[in-house]
Chains A and B, each alone.
Chain A
Amino acid sequence: AQSVTQLGSHVSVSEGALVLLRCNYSSSVPPYLFWYVQYPNQGLQLLLKYTTGATLVKGINGFEAEFKKSETSFHLTKPSAHMSDAAEYFCAVRGNFGNEKLTFGTGTRLTIIP
């Protein structure tokens, strides 16, 4: 079984400050990991994904995440927050071999303080 834990349901940062959203996973097989963003009243937009290879993954809008197998983590970061980053962020792990569903964390709502 796979699971994802997102630490902190709400995170507030000042505009220009570092954004750090935490995600830890549990998986019995090598994980495929994703970060999605959801703006109010919209669907999910893919930010970035890790499958294999380089453990530092760069995504859209200046976000990146690092896969750390020893820590079972896939934290999302952005060096400098922008007002437009305010949204809800979801970490997800994907199964395989007939179980390709995404299992999501509970989400982190990011607020940017002007």
Chain B
Amino acid sequence: EAGVTQSPTHLIKTRGQQATLRCSPISGHTSVYWYQQALGLGLQFLLWYDEGEERNRGNFPPRFSGRQFPNYSSELNVNALELEDSALYLCASSLEVAGTDTQYFGPGTRLTVL
């Protein structure tokens, strides 16, 4: 069974540009989560999508946004990039909305903002 996949692996942008990151969940999983792992800041929750709807978001500005498609894949958009947006962005998927289900992580996209 294929795991969570993310693309691209690496992304280099300049300040002010927009970045789009993509995630494909494990087959059958309906929930997708996005996390940011920035140096010195640890792993922070960004966004949660389930059944095409945004269910929750972390403490990030509105220039971080995303969506979930009918096939449950998801993309994360970061507008007006700032230097501090440089981080590893991790996507995770799970099967159930509530309960004890586990989030399985992809390999991440390394975003570098110059």
Residues of chain A touching chain B, judged by Cβ–Cβ distance below 8 Å, are: 32, 34, 36, 42-46, 49, 51-52, 90, 92, 94, 96-107
CB-contact partner of B55 in A92, A98, A106, under 8 A:
A98
How far in angstroms is the closest Cβ of chain A from B1?
14
Report the Cα distance A99→B33, complex, angstroms. Answer: 12
Contact yes or no, B48 A46, CB < 8 A? no
Nearest B residue to A52 via CB reads B100
Residues on A with beta carbons closer than 8 Å to the beta carbon of B48:
100-101
Residues of chain B touching chain A, judged by Cβ–Cβ distance below 8 Å, are: 4, 6, 31, 33, 35, 42-45, 48, 55-56, 58, 90, 92, 94, 97-100, 102-108
Residues on A with beta carbons closer than 8 Å to the beta carbon of B102:
34, 46, 49
Residues on B with beta carbons closer than 8 Å to the beta carbon of A51:
100
Report the Cα distance A92→B103, complex, angstroms. Answer: 11
The answer to whether residues A96 and B98 also contact, given A101-B33, A101-B48, A106-B42 and a CB cut-off of 8 A, is yes
Q: What are 18 A-to-B residue pairs whose CB atoms are below 8 Å? A: A34-B102, A36-B105, A42-B108, A43-B6, A43-B90, A43-B108, A44-B92, A46-B105, A92-B43, A96-B98, A100-B33, A100-B94, A101-B48, A101-B56, A102-B43, A102-B92, A103-B45, A107-B42
